[in-house]
Structure 1
Amino acid sequence: MPLPNFYHHIHRTLHQQAEQVLLVWPGGASAGHSTSYTGHDLGLRIAAYQHLLRGQGVQSGQPVLLALPVGAELICGLLAIMSLGAVPVLPPAGTSAVGLLKLLKLLRRNGVGAALVPSKGARRYGWLARGLGLRLFGAPKNVGTNELLLPQAVPATQPALVSHSSGSTGQAKAIRRSHAVLTAQHQVLKQVFPPWQGQRDFPLFPNILLHNLSVGAVSVLPDVPWGQLAKLEPARVVQQLQATQVETLTGNVFYFAALCGHLEQHPTPLPHVRALGVGGSPVPESLLQRLRSCFADAEVYVIYGSSEAEPIAVRAAATAPNPRGGYCVGPVQAGLSCRLQPLGAVELPNGSKYPVGEVCVQGAHVAAEPGAWLHTGDFGYFDAQNQLWLTGRQGNEAIHLGVQHYQVEHVLHMQAGVERAAARATAAGFDIYYQGTASEAAVRAALAQHFPAGLCNRVLPRRHLPVDRRHLSKILYDQLR
C-alpha cells in the first residue's frame, strides 16, 4: 500500500502556520539584512515549482538534480520535487570545483535525466544539456497564484531525497533516504529534542530545515557563506544571534570553536539560547567546556551520527569524561540496534579492557537496504554504563599497545597550544602531527604522561593539518605529510 509522502508533514505546516514566519534567510553581503518567509509565502513559491515541473512531465519516482543556488528557492524547489513524488538529488559539497565531466558521471550513476536550474542557465545551456541527454528546467520567474498541490502518495521505500556524504574517507557517496527513513529520522529528533511552539532554531546546515518545517519551528539560517565555512565571520554570527534571539543551535566543531573564540575575546550575554548540539566529527571535551562557559544558560549536547543515520547517539555534556578513553558520545538511541564488528581490544590505564569494533547500526531511521547493517566506518567500544566511546576511524584503525588513534588525539586536544592533532598509525605505533603553538617537548611530555612508552614515534608540528571540505573538522589522514 502506498504511504503518504514525507512532504505531507510540511504541507500541513504550511497551511496551519500560513501567517507565521517559518524561514529567515540571511542577506549575505548585506550585513544585518534578511528575508522572512511565512507559510503562505513558501506555499506560493512551492506551488509555482510544482506547476512548472508537472507541466514539464516530471513523474513520480523520477530523479531531478537541484542545481539552484543555496537559498529559499532551493528549498522550495526541493519540496516541490518531493511533493510530486519525484526524487530531489543534491550534488556533493564543492561540486563547482568538481568539473563538468565528473558531474555528468554523478548524474549517470544516479539515473538523473533532468535538472532544476536558474532560468538564465536553462536558456543558455539547454541545447548543450539536451545533447548530453539532460533536460534543464529553469526556475519560474513569477510566484503567481497557482494552487498548492497535495502531496503525491508514494511507496514507503521510494527515495525521498538523495544527498552525498562528506567524502572524508574517500569519494563522496550518494545517500538515499526513503520516505520511511526521513519520517523515522523526523520522529526520533522530535523525541530526543521535543519542539515547542514558536521555537527559533539556528541550523548551520540547511538539511535540518526539513525537520523544522515538519514541526513548525522557525529556521533562522546563520549568516555564513554556504559551502565556504572557512569564510565564517564569527562577529556577524554572534550579532545575528543577539538580533534574532534564537533559542537552539546546531553546528560542527570548526563553527563552534570559531564562535567561542570570538565570545571569549568579546563576552556577549546570550541568555535566550536554551540548547545547542555539536557534531559532524569527534567533539573534544575542551570545546564542550568552552561552550558551557560561552553559552552559560544553554544545555550542551554531543550528537553522533552519519549521513545515513541521524542521530545514532546523543550525550548531554554536563560532565567531562576522561579523554584518554576516546570520545564519549553517550547511549545509542532507542529503536536502533547496534553491534561492533570485532577488531581487537583497548586497554585503559586502570587496567580495564574493552572489545573494540566497527560501529554497525540497523533500524527504522537508518538509510540502508532492508535488513542490512550500516557500517559507519567508526570504531569504538561500550563501557560498563553502556555508553558508546569512539576510538578510531576506518583507514587508520590499527590498535597499538591497546590504543587507537582517537584516544591519542583527544588527549592532545586538551593540551594548551594544540589547535588540532592527528595520530597516524604505522607498523610500529603512531606518528603524531599537530597544529598550534605548543612545543614538541610539551607534546611529547603529554604523550608520555598518558600512554605506554614506545607507542608514539615521530612528533611533527605542522602549520595546517588537512581536513575535509564540508566540516573543516575531519582529518584527512591519507594527506598527512
Structure 2
Amino acid sequence: MLLAPASPLVCLPVPPPAAPAQHPNFAERLFAALRQQPAQEVLRWPAAQPGATPLRVSGAALLARVVAWQQALEANGPLPLGAPVLLAHPGSPELVAALLAVLGLGGVPVLPPADASARTLYHLLKAERIGRAVVAPGTQRRLGWLGRLVGCRCVAAPAAAGYDDWAGPTPGAVATPVLRAVRPEQPALISHSSGSASGRPAAVRRSHRVLQAQHEALRTQFPPWPGQRDFPLFPNVILHNLAVGTLSIVPDLSRGKLALLDPARIIAQLTTERVETLTGNVFYFEQLLAYLGQYPATFPAVRALGVGGSPVPERLLAALRSCFPRAVCYVIYGASEAEPIAVRAATGPALDPRLGYCVGSPHAGLDLMLYEPQPVWQPTATATDLGAPAGPPRYQAGEVLVRGPHVAQAPGAWLPTGDFGYLDAAGQLWLTGRRGAAILVRGVGHYQLEHCLRQLPGVAQVAALPRPDGSAFDVWVAGSTTAAAVQAASAAAFGPGLLGRVSHRARLPVDGRHFSKIRYDLLR
C-alpha cells in the first residue's frame, strides 16, 4: 500500500530546467517543424516486401496526408475538442499522418494495446466512448460491424489531391493542416502499458502539457544534430524526431510486429542506411546479438544506442559495446507516464550484478521518492556476511515514486512506478525488485539474484520469486544450465541457503509489448 506523502524514505528534488516556449497544442510544434523542412526526408518506412525500395516521406508530403485525414475525419461534421479517436490503422506513414491529424483537430488519438483482439477493441470503444476510428481501406468493411455496435464510424482517408506519392508534392504551396487551440491539461494521447504486472494493459493518458515536457526532457537529455539518422524501435520516438527534424528510419519488422523480428533484415538496414543512433529493448538487442554471434559484424557509424523497456543486464551492455565500438550505450529507465526517469551512460567496466540493475542518475526536473523502507544487502569481500548483524553497510530501498513536469499525473501528484530500488552514495538509482515480488530474502531483492544468475552460461531467461514467509527464493530458468549450477552461483554470490526450488521451463512468460518483462503472475 502507498504510504502518506508526508514521510518519504528519500526525496530527491532536482531543480527543473528552464521552461520551454509554450505551445497550446503539441501538433503546433510538429507542424512548424515539418513546414520548415518541406523538401527534407523526415520518415523512411521499410517496404512491404524484403529488398524493395523503402518509402521516403518528405515534410510536405506528410503535411498533405495530415490534411487528407483531417478532411476525412470531419466529412460528416466537426470533431469535438477532446473527442477520442481510435487509431486502428496498421503501422505505416498513414498511421503517423492520422495521429497528427487528430492532434491538430484537438481530438485525442487512442492507440490500442499491442495485438488487440476484436473483443479488446470492442471494450475499448465502449470504455472511452469513441465515435470515430481510423482504419485502413482494406479493413474498413471488416471492422465496420464492430463500430456499428457502439455507434463508432470507421474512417479511411482518400488520396491526397495533387500529390503523386509520399516522396514530395507537385509544385505549389505546402499544405496547411487545421490547428485548434486546446487547454494544456486536455488529453493529447492515450496509449497502453505493457501489462506486465497483471496481463491487463492499462490506459496511459498524456496531456498536451506532458507531451511537451516529455519532448523537452528527451531533447535535453539527447540533443539532436543536423542530419541525424535515427533508428527508433519505440513509436513515441518518431513523434519526438519529427519535432526536432531528425530522420526516422523505421526498423524492418514483418507486419510491424516485434514477435516476427528477423534479425537479418534489421542488420541489413543498419549496414545500408548508415544509422547513427538507435533505440530498442532487451529482447530486440538479444536477437540482434544472437545473429551477430553467427555472422560477425561491427557498426562504427553508430554514435549512440539506448536500451530500455525492462531491466538491462550488464552482460548485454558488454556485448553491445563489442559490436558498436564507437557508440555510447545508454540505459534508459522510464515509463509511458514518465519518459525518461533516469539515464545511465554505460561507458566504464561492468558493474557488480549483486547490487541490482543500475539505471543511472534521475533526470533533471524530476522529484524522486522512495517508499516502504527495506535494508538492502551490499556485497563485501566475504559473502558469508549475508544478513549478519555486523555485516556490510546497507542502503535503504523503497518503491520508486516520481513527480514533475513530464510525469502524466495530476500536478503535484506522485507516480508510483511499481519498481523498488535505492540511491547509492553517488546518487545513482539501482533497481532491486518489482511490486508483487519485492519481499527481501535476507536483505536480497529478486532483481539482485536474477541479475547474477543471468550472467551464467546457458541461462536464456531467469525469474525469482520470494516465498511469502521470506525464507527463500524459488527460481525458474529457461536454458541449458542445471539446477546445481544455479544453486552454486547463488551461493557464491550471496552465501548458501538463499534458494528454494529451482524449476526449468522451455520459455518463461513475458509481456506482449516488449517481450522482455517477466510475467511473475503466471509463474506459480
Do they fold alike, i.e. is TM over 0.5?
A: yes
- Which residue of the partner structure matches residue 370 of structure 2? 340
**Looking at both structures, which has the greater relative contact order when contacts are Cα pairs under 8 Å and sequence separation is at least 6?**
2
**Pairwise mapping of residues 95-114 of structure 1 onto structure 2 (< 5 A)?**
95=116, 98-100=117-119, 102-114=120-132
Q: Aligned partners of 1:247 and 1:279: how far apart in 2? A: 18
- Which residue of the partner structure matches residue 262 of structure 1? 291
The answer to whether 1:158 aligns with 2:209 is no
Q: How many residues align?
A: 477
- Which residue of the partner structure matches residue 229 of structure 1? 258
Alignment check: 8 A CA contact 1:4 1:151 kept: no
Question: Structure 2: which amino acid aligns with 1:28?
Answer: A
Alignment check: 8 A CA contact 1:157 1:180 kept: yes
- Which residue of the partner structure matches residue 311 of structure 1? 340
Q: Deviations over 1:308-343 (max 9, x none)?
A: 101000000012211100000011001000001124
- Which residue of the partner structure matches residue 47 of structure 2? 27
State the TM-score, normalized to the length of structure 2.
Answer: 0.88
Quote the offset at 1:153 in angstroms: 1.2
Quote the offset at 1:229 in angstroms: 1.8
SS in 1 for 2:129: coil
State the TM-score, normalized to the length of structure 1.
Answer: 0.96
Q: Aligned partners of 1:147 and 1:53: how far apart in 2? A: 17
Q: Aligned partners of 2:489 and 2:495: how far apart in 1? A: 11
- Which residue of the partner structure matches residue 388 of structure 2? none
SS in 2 for 1:357: strand
SS in 2 for 1:463: coil
Q: 1:421 to 1:5 in 2, by over 3 A?
A: same
Q: Deviations over 1:149-179 (max 9, x none)?
A: 2421111001111000000012111111111
Q: 1:127 to 1:381 in 2, by over 3 A?
A: closer
Alignment check: 8 A CA contact 1:4 1:154 kept: yes
Alignment check: 8 A CA contact 1:94 1:227 kept: no
- Which residue of the partner structure matches residue 149 of structure 1? 177
- Which residue of the partner structure matches residue 183 of structure 1? 212
Alignment check: 8 A CA contact 1:359 1:376 kept: yes
SS in 2 for 1:424: strand
Identity of aligned residues (%): 52
SS in 2 for 1:272: coil
- Which residue of the partner structure matches residue 440 of structure 1? 483
Question: Structure 1: which amino acid aligns with 2:363?
Answer: Q
Quick one: which of 201, 213, 216 aligns to 1:172?
Answer: 201
- Which residue of the partner structure matches residue 398 of structure 2? 357
Alignment check: 8 A CA contact 1:277 1:300 kept: yes
Q: 1:423 to 1:143 in 2, by over 3 A?
A: farther
Alignment check: 8 A CA contact 1:32 1:240 kept: no
Alignment check: 8 A CA contact 2:491 2:498 kept: no
Quote the offset at 1:436 in angstroms: 1.4
> Unaligned stretches of 5+ in structure 2?
1-21, 164-173, 381-391
Q: Aligned partners of 2:195 and 2:477: how far apart in 1? A: 22
The answer to whether 1:470 aligns with 2:513 is yes
Alignment check: 8 A CA contact 1:227 1:470 kept: no
The answer to whether 1:71 aligns with 2:83 is no
Question: Structure 2: which amino acid aligns with 1:186?
Answer: H
Q: Which moved more, 1:307-316 or 1:437-446?
A: 437-446
- Which residue of the partner structure matches residue 427 of structure 2? 386
Q: 1:316 to 1:32 in 2, by over 3 A?
A: farther
Q: Aligned partners of 2:256 and 2:437: how far apart in 1? A: 27
> Unaligned stretches of 5+ in structure 1?
none
Q: Aligned partners of 2:142 and 2:482: how far apart in 1? A: 56
Q: 1:32 to 1:119 in 2, by over 3 A?
A: closer
**Pairwise mapping of residues 186-265 of structure 1 onto structure 2 (< 5 A)?**
186-225=215-254, 228-265=257-294
- Which residue of the partner structure matches residue 414 of structure 1? 455
Alignment check: 8 A CA contact 1:31 1:236 kept: no
The answer to whether 1:86 aligns with 2:86 is no
Quote the offset at 1:143 in angstroms: 4.5
Alignment check: 8 A CA contact 2:47 2:53 kept: yes
Alignment check: 8 A CA contact 2:91 2:256 kept: no
SS in 2 for 1:55: coil
Q: Aligned partners of 1:432 and 1:128: how far apart in 2? A: 44
Q: Which moved more, 1:439-448 or 1:85-94?
A: 439-448
The answer to whether 1:60 aligns with 2:103 is no
Q: Aligned partners of 2:355 and 2:149: how far apart in 1? A: 57
Quick one: which of 43, 48, 64 aligns to 2:63?
Answer: 43
Alignment check: 8 A CA contact 1:123 1:138 kept: no
Q: Deviations over 1:166-224 (max 9, x none)?
A: 00012111111111111111111111110000100000122211100000000000111
Quote the offset at 1:479 in angstroms: 1.2
Q: 1:287 to 1:226 in 2, by over 3 A?
A: farther
The answer to whether 1:457 aligns with 2:500 is yes
